[in-house]
């Protein structure tokens, strides 16, 4: 946890919120929560859409491959800019080859294989850590005006 | 001196029921519109009979004991049916909590030694608390069933297929396009194509808040299925922010006809069908 946070730009966390996600029905409420936070810090529409889509990809991965997990939503600030940081942690099987999983089109689930690489392109900061048999943790950050 | 709790409760069963009924009826929030007093009494009596029958000195401190299976069954049944009928958690909770009060009142009258009284009261408290938890858990399960049923209903009513023109149908999608929803959308779309002998189908996604890779995949599947039926599928209602997101995500929609608005999709469909819409020019007389 500490390690990952350090890799992401040093920021001040202003406000945080935990959300457990166990079922498909939890996706929409979670996305709406992200939207609420994004609106609160006046994130523009395009950035908001990108953040929501990225969040949606990660929460779906967590449900599909990680067997559900927990998400930490944080409002962070750096100088004059505010942003939203989302931390997705699951206790699933983990990812054997992260470099492979980050490639466009790689999927073990007969899907498009765009979730992880696409998410990375949609956000300002992206970090993934995974340990086989232990679980996966993905942290993303999107600035309101980034 | 050992206290025979079974004997006390057997002897006092009617009194417990009366006290319990009084406690329940005393609450101002009682829903007489949802249940008559007779029904409430019948339910209460059934539960108390089962409880008194299964309770003894040993299992008094063991809520997990198999002896209580029947009690829990009755309790869960009551709780689920209340959830379905729209009772509030407060009303449902009151049912079991006021029983606890009645039991403790009776025990207070019957047991003289303060030490024994405290001991029995504590045990009763714990037992009834765990029954309360079961009540709430099943109540919530009942509510969730209601919600799931409503979700199914919503996904059906919210996918209307519109015959816009002879040979052209449109399907506005509103909300999230998950797997279950896609199934419904695809089915109604394909059926309607056959029934109306349409050759162009417009899928309007103006009302879809997020297009992630899952939604995109569902859209792609729907488009291929439409093509297999011999019809062309156009996706309209792609908002600028969605377009930018799709590009970054890396989703390839290049093989599909996409339009920003439903109107431009309709224009395209007219052209495909060689239809011309003209403004009438009136001769000035
Ligand atoms: N939380 C996770 N736990 C375990 N494995 C994961 C997790 N997230 C992703 N993976 C693995 O990484 C692969 C790539 O993920 P990615 O989201 O890029 O593609 P996908 O989910 O397969 O397809 P898409 O997201 O396009 O529908 C997955 O197929 C899966 O094997
Ligand atoms: Mg994915």
The CATH number that applies at residue B47 is 1.10.490.10
**pLDDT digit string (tens) for A87-96?**
999 999 999 9
Q: What is the CATH number of the domain that holds B181?
A: 3.30.750.24
Nearest 5°: the CA angle B14, B16, B17 is 65
**pLDDT digit string (tens) for A66-79?**
999 999 999 999 88
> Taking each helix axis from N to C terminus, what angle separates B240-249 and B213-228, rounded to the nearest 10 degrees?
100
In angstroms, what is the span from residue A42 Cα to ligand 2's centroid? 28
Of A24, A31, A104, the CB nearest to B210: A31
> Taking each helix axis from N to C terminus, what angle separates A45-64 and A27-40, rounded to the nearest 10 degrees?
150
Judge residue B47's burial from the number of C-beta atoms within 10 Å of its C-beta, 0-12 exposed, 13-18 middle, 19 or more buried.
buried
- Which carries the bigger pLDDT value, residue A59 or residue A15? A59
Residue B268: the pLDDT is 96
Return the number of other C-beta atoms located less than 10 Å from residue B214's C-beta.
Answer: 23
Same domain? For B27 and B54 the reply is yes
Q: How many CB pairs under 8 A join A and B?
A: 64
Contacts of B214 in chain A (CB under 8 A): 56, 60, 111
Residue B246: the pLDDT is 94
Contacts of A63 in chain B (CB under 8 A): none
What average pLDDT does the structure give for chain A? Answer: 91
B109 touches chain A (CB under 8 A): no
Query: Which are the contacts of A110, defined by CB distance < 8 A and separation ≥ 6?
Result: none
Ligand nearest to the CA of A62: 1
Whether B253 is in a domain gets the answer yes
Residue A106 Cα: closest atom of ligand 1 = 14
Same domain? For B142 and B93 the reply is yes
What average pLDDT does the structure give for chain B? Answer: 88
Of B176, B241, B250, the CB nearest to A118: B250
Same domain? For B33 and B127 the reply is yes
Query: With 60 as the cut, is the pLDDT of residue B154 above it?
Result: yes
Parse chain A into domains and list their residue ranges.
2-143
- Which carries the bigger pLDDT value, residue B48 or residue B58? B48
Q: Which of B130, B154, B178 is the last residue of a domain?
A: B154
Same domain? For B168 and B125 the reply is no
Residue A97 pLDDT grade (very low, low, confident, very high; cuts 50, 70, 90): very high
Residue A1 pLDDT grade (very low, low, confident, very high; cuts 50, 70, 90): very low
Q: Supply the ipTM of this predicted assembly.
A: 0.84
Residue B190: the pLDDT is 92
Of the candidates B189, B253, B178, which has an alpha carbon nearest to the alpha carbon of residue A112? B253
Same domain? For B28 and B130 the reply is yes
Same domain? For B25 and B145 the reply is yes
Q: How far is CA B119 from CA A32, B16, B57, B68, in A?
A: 50, 20, 12, 21
Whether B245 is in a domain gets the answer yes
Residue A102 Cα: closest atom of ligand 1 = 18
Contact A60 B210 (CB under 8 A): no
Same domain? For B197 and B96 the reply is no
- Which carries the bigger pLDDT value, residue B64 or residue A85? A85
At the top level of CATH, which class does the domain A2-143 belong to? alpha beta
In angstroms, what is the span from residue A107 Cα to ligand 1's centroid? 6
Contacts of B244 in chain A (CB under 8 A): 46, 49-50
| Contact residues of ligand 1, CB 6 A cut-off | A 57, 61-62, 65-66, 90, 92-95, 101, 106-109, 111-117, 136; B 213-214
- Which carries the bigger pLDDT value, residue A43 or residue B146? A43
Same domain? For B37 and B139 the reply is yes
Q: Which of B95, B120, B154 is the last residue of a domain?
A: B154
Average pLDDT for A20-47 = 92
Residue A2 pLDDT grade (very low, low, confident, very high; cuts 50, 70, 90): very low
Same domain? For B150 and B30 the reply is yes
Of B176, B209, B249, the CB nearest to A114: B249
Asked if B195 and B183 touch (Cβ cutoff 8 Å), the reply is: no
Query: With 80 as the cut, is the pLDDT of residue B245 above it?
Result: yes
Same domain? For B256 and B214 the reply is yes
pTM summary value: 0.69
Whether B280 is in a domain gets the answer no
Residue A93: DSSP 8-state: S
Asked if A123 and A50 touch (Cβ cutoff 8 Å), the reply is: yes
Q: How far is CA B67 from CA A117, B48, B70, B137, in A?
A: 56, 14, 7, 20
**pLDDT digit string (tens) for B32-49?**
677 778 888 888 999 999
Residue B233 pLDDT grade (very low, low, confident, very high; cuts 50, 70, 90): very high
Contact A46 B214 (CB under 8 A): no
Whether B265 is in a domain gets the answer yes
- Domains in chain B, number: 2
Q: Which of B107, B132, B154 is the last residue of a domain?
A: B154
Return the number of other C-beta atoms located less than 10 Å from residue A117's C-beta.
Answer: 19
Whether B284 is in a domain gets the answer no
Same domain? For B141 and B172 the reply is no
What is the extent of the structural domain holding B102?
A: 5-154
Contact B244 A31 (CB under 8 A): no
Return d(Cα B237, Cα B2) in angstroms, integer: 78
Chain B nearest CA to A46, separation (Å): 5
User: By CA distance, what is B176's nearest residue in A?
Assistant: A28
Same domain? For B58 and B178 the reply is no
Whether B209 is in a domain gets the answer yes
């Amino acid at each position: 946890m500490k390690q990952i946070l350090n890799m992401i730009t040093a920021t001040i966390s202003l406000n945080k919120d935990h959300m457990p996600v166990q079922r498909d029905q939890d996706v929409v409420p979670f996305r709406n929560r992200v939207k609420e936070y994004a609106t609160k810090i006046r994130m523009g529409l395009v950035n908001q859409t990108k953040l929501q889509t990225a969040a949606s990809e990660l929460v779906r991965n967590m449900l599909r491959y990680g067997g559900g997990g927990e998400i930490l939503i944080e409002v962070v600030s750096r100088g004059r800019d505010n942003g939203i940081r989302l931390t997705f942690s699951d206790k699933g099987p983990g990812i054997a080859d992260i470099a492979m999983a980050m490639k466009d089109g790689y999927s073990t689930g007969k899907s498009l294989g765009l979730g992880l690489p696409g998410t990375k392109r949609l956000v300002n900061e992206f970090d993934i850590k995974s340990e086989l048999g232990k679980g996966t943790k993905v942290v993303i950050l999107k600035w309101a005006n980034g | 001196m050992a206290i025979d709790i079974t004997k006390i409760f057997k002897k006092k069963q009617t009194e417990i029921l009366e006290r319990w009924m009084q406690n329940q009826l005393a609450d101002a929030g009682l829903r007489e519109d949802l249940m008559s007093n007779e029904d409430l009494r019948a339910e209460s009596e059934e539960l108390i009979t089962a409880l008194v029958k299964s309770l003894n000195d040993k299992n008094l401190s063991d809520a997990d004991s198999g002896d209580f299976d029947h009690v829990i069954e009755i309790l869960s049944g009551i709780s689920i049916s209340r959830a379905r009928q729209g009772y509030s958690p407060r009303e449902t909770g009151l049912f079991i909590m006021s029983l606890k009060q009645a039991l403790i009142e009776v025990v207070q009258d019957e047991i003289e030694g303060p030490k024994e009284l405290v001991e029995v009261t504590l045990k009763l408290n714990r037992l009834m608390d765990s029954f309360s938890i079961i009540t709430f858990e099943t109540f919530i399960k009942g509510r969730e069933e209601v919600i799931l049923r409503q979700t199914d209903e919503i996904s059906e009513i919210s996918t209307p297929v519109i015959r816009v023109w002879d040979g052209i149908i449109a399907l506005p999608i509103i909300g999230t396009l998950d797997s279950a929803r896609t199934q419904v959308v695809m089915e109604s779309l394909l059926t309607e194509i056959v029934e109306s002998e349409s050759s162009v189908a417009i899928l309007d996604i103006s009302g879809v808040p997020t297009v992630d890779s899952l939604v995109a995949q569902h859209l792609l599947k729907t488009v291929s299925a439409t093509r297999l039926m011999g019809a062309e599928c156009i996706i309209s209602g792609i908002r600028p922010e969605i377009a930018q997101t799709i590009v970054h995500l890396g989703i390839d929609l290049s093989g599909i006809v996409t339009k920003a608005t439903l109107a431009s999709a309709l224009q395209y469909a007219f052209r495909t069908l060689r239809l011309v819409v003209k403004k009438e020019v009136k001769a000035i007389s």
